[in-house]
Structure formats: structure tokens, C-alpha cells
Amino acid sequence: MSIDAKLRERAAKVVPGGMYGHLNAALHGPAYPQFFVGGEGCRQRDADGREYVDLMCSWGPVVLGHRHPAVEGAVAAQLAAGDCLNGPGPVYVELAELLVETVPQADWVMFSKNGTDATTQALMVARAATGRTKVLMAHGAYHGADPWCTPSTAGTTPNERADLVEFTYNDLASVEAAAAQAEGDVAAIIVTPFKHDSFEDQELVAAEFARGVRALADRIGAALVIDDVRGGWRIDLGGSWEPLGVRPDLYAFSKAMANGHPIAAVTGVDSLRGPAQTLYSTGSFWFNAAPMAAAKATIETLRAVDGIALMERAGTRLREGLAAQAASHGFTVNQTGPVQIPWLSFEGDATLDKGMFWAAACLEEGVYLHPWHNWFLSAAHTDADIDRALQGTDAAYAKLRARFGAD
């Protein structure tokens, strides 16, 4: 029995189901390992010692590479001084100042721990500011795991979702219709910077949609919230809609903000500073200093090395390589999303049979990616790393052709 299998067996006795949430390997397919013991740069090792080129980056948090020296050095120094104290450390102010300097939309910052914290906190600010209850959100969008937004309804009540009104991403008329349905009670419109629903091809935002949503929010007096948990720190350091010239009232950040250390943030415009101040929103570990030191070091390093350009280079190399390989093996594939946050699906593979088989074959070849969730690249992915990954994906295409035949 493998070490991973033994750990799963033990976990099943003391944890419901053995594992839960988005890292539950049972959701990804039988080939996926559950337990990992280490990472370095863009490589990870599972509990049985197998090494993978990591194209998931721990589901997004790792943006500079595992165990990045600048980040880990900042964390070690802060831990030596103190982490969980009776109040935040000076780095709390330093990080807030850095975020206000880096994100043009930001006049102020509030910190928490996870993406769900940030999206929920942003909606609380919007409701405090407007005195309204309804939130417009895209059908199928993922905004976290609190009862109001979790993909599973187990353990929730209908009332916790009663104030949500759905629209279709990139369809401005459907947002207008959702606003009309809410009858003047819209506190916020929450939207992701691009469509990244699981099990579906991703979809980049149309500039006219982004501008239209901003104009609608202004017209009806609602707060525009961008859930930048996945896109943040990979698309633009100033926020993922900054290149479009569209700024929200509130940004929600987490994942890549501290290169794997637990922290989240909401940034807001000055007109919402007063309402934000009225909230009681807190947590025992929200103000720990070490993750803030990690975030400060991460953002400073991304700026210093032009990390987004590095990720775009790696993503373009990967996308072009995967397309050439697919064509050579006789497959039609769809590659969607920003190149640094990619996903690949097979044409006509509604059941994901090909995608699941190919992803498992990639694992066998030492490449860790995902069959139904978008992938993530980091600034640690060099040309050589991408070429090594492409060796594995090419072998996986060959196995797929042997199993299913070409298109």
C-alpha cells in the first residue's frame, strides 16, 4: 500500500470523508495523490516521493514559486519578532500603505484570511453603505464557501441565498434585467474579472460588458465589487480590470497575495470608508504579522522582477506548445482564459472522459494540472520548466490517442 493510501485510510477514521473542500483528491480522479510533502520553485512532491511540474500552484496561492527566499526570509524575520500578538505589528500599516500605492482604485484596505472572507466583507460594506439587501451575481460564478455562495447547499437554508439575483456573464442586458427584478434594492453587483466557472471553458470579459456594469452600478447607486481572488496579482498588480480602465468600488483579493501564506484583503474607494468603519468584522488570526510580511514581500518582489510578464511568457509558451501537440496527435482542443491562468478542454468532450484521462496521463508523466478547474502559472516557471511539462503533456496526448483514437 502506498504512503498516500495509508494516510487516506487513517484520515478517514478521524475526518469526515477523510478530506473535504476543493483539495479533496477524490473530486479530481483516482490518479490524483491526496498528500504532499514539499515544494520548491514550480515543483511539488507527493507523500510517495513523486515529483511534478506544478501547473496548479496550490490552486493559485503560489505566485512566485514554492519557498521563495524573499518571502520566506520576511516570514522568518517576523516570526522571530512575533506573529500573533495583542494587536497587529507595524507591517499592518506598511502593507496597507503598499496596497493603496499599488492598486489605483484603493483608498483604504481591510484584511482577513481567505477569499471567502474578502468577498463576504465587501458585500457587508456595500450593504452598510446603501442600506439595501440584494446582490447581483453571475450564474455559476464561484465567490467562496460561505452559506450565501457555497456551491453545495448542504447545511444551508434558502434564506441565505434569498438576496441573490443572477445574471449571465458578459451579457449586459441580463444584468439590467436582474437589477430591474431587484426593484431598487441592489446593494452590490459582484463579478469576477473573467469567467472561470469549473467544468466550463473560461471566458475573457468583454470591455463593453465591464464598462456597462460600471455604468449600471453608478446609475442605480450600487457598489461594484470585483472578486479578484483568482485573478489578483497575476493579471495586473493594480487589479484585473485596471487595463480596461474600469475601477470597482471594492476589490476582493486573496490567493496569490502572499505566495501561499494566509491573507486576504478588501480595497475600497474613499466614499465607502465610513460604512466600512461601522462593520464588526474580525477573526482571531486576521491580524497576524507573518502573513502580512509575506504579502509585502510578495508584492514587492512581483514588482521588482515583473512577475506578471514572466507568467505571461510561460503561459504563452505552454499554450502554443499544447496547441501544436494537440494538432500533431489529431485532437481539437480549446484553451481558454488568460495564458497565466489557463485551462484546456477537448472539443466535444461533454462528459470530460478525454479530459479526465489526459489529466491522469499527465500525472503519470510528472505534470500536475486539472481536468475541470483552471490552472495557475507562477513567476518560477522558466522556459525549461515549461518544456519539461510539454514533454509530459505530449506523452499524455499519445496515451489519449491510443485509448480514444484521434478526432
Query: Is 121 in the same domain as 262?
Result: yes
Residue range 341-382, pLDDT digits in tens: 999 999 999 999 999 999 999 999 999 999 999 999 999 999
DSSP secondary structure of 302-332: HHHHTHHHHHHHHHHHHHHHHHHHHHHHT--
Please count the residues of the chain.
407
State the pLDDT at residue 104: 98
Identity at 12, one-letter amino acid code: A
Query: Is 187 in the same domain as 239?
Result: yes
Query: Is 89 in the same domain as 148?
Result: yes
> Which domain range does residue 371 map to?
3-66+306-404
* Rounded Cα–Cα distance for residues 283 and 291 (Å): 14
> Any idea which residue has 457598489 for its cell?
223
> Any idea which residue has 450593504 for its cell?
127
CA 220 to chain centre: 29
**CB neighbour list of residue 183: distance below 8 Å, 6 or more residues apart:** none
Chosen domain end from 284, 304, 324: 304
Query: Is 103 in the same domain as 176?
Result: yes
Query: Is 124 in the same domain as 260?
Result: yes
Query: Is 54 in the same domain as 7?
Result: yes
Query: How many domains are contained in the chain?
Result: 2
Q: Mean pLDDT per 10-residue run, the chain (407 residues)?
A: 98 97 95 98 98 98 98 98 98 98 98 98 98 98 96 94 97 98 97 97 98 98 98 98 98 98 98 98 98 98 98 98 98 98 97 98 98 98 98 98 95
Query: Is 119 in the same domain as 268?
Result: yes
Q: What CATH number does the domain containing 32 carry?
A: 3.90.1150.10
Query: Is 296 in the same domain as 312?
Result: no
Question: Exposed, middle or buried by CB within 10 Å (0-12, 13-18, 19+), for 84?
Answer: exposed
> Pairing between strand 51-54 and 134-138?
unpaired
Chosen domain end from 254, 273, 304: 304
Query: Is 163 in the same domain as 220?
Result: yes
Considering just the CA atoms, what is the radius of gyration of the chain in Å? 21
* Rounded Cα–Cα distance for residues 251 and 229 (Å): 9
Q: What are the cell numbers at 117? A: 472572507
State the pLDDT at residue 138: 98
State the pLDDT at residue 320: 98
Query: Is 287 in the same domain as 300?
Result: yes
Query: Is 62 in the same domain as 115?
Result: no
* Rounded Cα–Cα distance for residues 249 and 172 (Å): 19
Report in angstroms the alpha-carbon separations of 289 from 75, 97, 100, 261, 356.
Answer: 9, 15, 18, 11, 41
Query: Is 93 in the same domain as 110?
Result: yes
* Nearest residue to 2 via CA among 33, 44, 48, 51: 48
> Any idea which residue has 500578538 for its cell?
85
State the pLDDT at residue 167: 98
State the pLDDT at residue 33: 98
Identity at 330, one-letter amino acid code: G
- With H, G, I as helix, E, B as strand and everything else as coil, classify residue 368: strand
Chosen domain end from 304, 331, 354: 304
Question: Exposed, middle or buried by CB within 10 Å (0-12, 13-18, 19+), for 14?
Answer: exposed
